[in-house]
Amino acid sequence: MAKTLTEIALDEALADSATLEDAAKKADAEDIPLVVALVRHAGVGEVALVAALRRQTRVPVTDPATVALDTDALRELPREVCRRRRVLPLAIQIHNSGPRTLHLAMADPTDQVAIAEVEHHTGTSVRPTLMTLSAVEELIETGYRGFVTEVMKRESRPVYGSKLSVTNAPAHVVASPTTSPHHRVSDEARLDTRHRALVRLLVDKGVIQESELEDLVRKLLKGREDEG
């Protein structure tokens, strides 16, 4: 049976029993992962913890400096889940048969509850990779912020032909009925209306917060002023 994070910390002399017990109580009281309590409250070194986990679990270590975030992978998991579990989707791998594989950066790859939640949410088979707690937390914020920015920029691009208008159409041309199977209400909406709907959807799903959106808008507006 695979060892737990507590057992590994004891085996590697990263903390004594009393410290681990206090950390476990802290994790339960604040509803945070045990690895967070060990690093932030018990003072266990991140680098030492990653080294110990690598030796005991044989899970590969990923250098955060080499990570190229994949928007397809980020789309699989809401940021709220990543923040709560301290995990980050790095890449999604599709197979000819069987479930897809999600490469997942984790501060604690022994956290089976987190892995089970991610697999249930995404319908994938998780393949964990090790990363320090602070690196995972930082990449969650920068990764999802960049993901939202890319989505917003894509939606703001004008559709080819959207500014064209037709007047004095021939009498024999009959408009398609609104009950057409291909008709969508969103097609009739103005671009700014669709953009606001997209932003509201992202906020509701926890991908971006209102405060982060405001910061991003200010930066974009300032960039336009500087260009002017």
What b/e string do you get for 69-101 counting C-beta neighbours within 10 Å, with b at 16 or more?
bbeebbebbebebbbebbbbbbbbeeeeeeeee
Class of CATH domain 59-157+190-228: alpha beta
Query: What's the confidence (pLDDT) of residue 189?
Result: 55
Query: What's the confidence (pLDDT) of residue 191?
Result: 60
What integer is the mean pLDDT of 215-219? 71
Least confident of 43-57, 64-78, 121-135, 199-213: 199-213
Query: What's the confidence (pLDDT) of residue 93?
Result: 94
What integer is the mean pLDDT of 109-113? 97
What integer is the mean pLDDT of 126-142? 96
pTM of the model: 0.66
Sign of the CA dihedral running 50, 5, 104, 57: positive
Residue 54 sits at φ, ψ, to 5 deg, of -65, -45
Per-residue pLDDT band for 62 (boundaries 50, 70, 90) equals very high
Residue 113 burial class via C-beta count within 10 angstroms: exposed 0-12, middle 13-18, buried 19 and up: exposed
What integer is the mean pLDDT of 161-166? 46
E strands, 19-171, are: 87-93, 100-106, 124-130
Sign of the CA dihedral running 216, 145, 147, 200: negative
Q: Does position 224 have pLDDT exceeding 70, yes or no?
A: no
Placement of tokens 């991003």 in the chain: 216
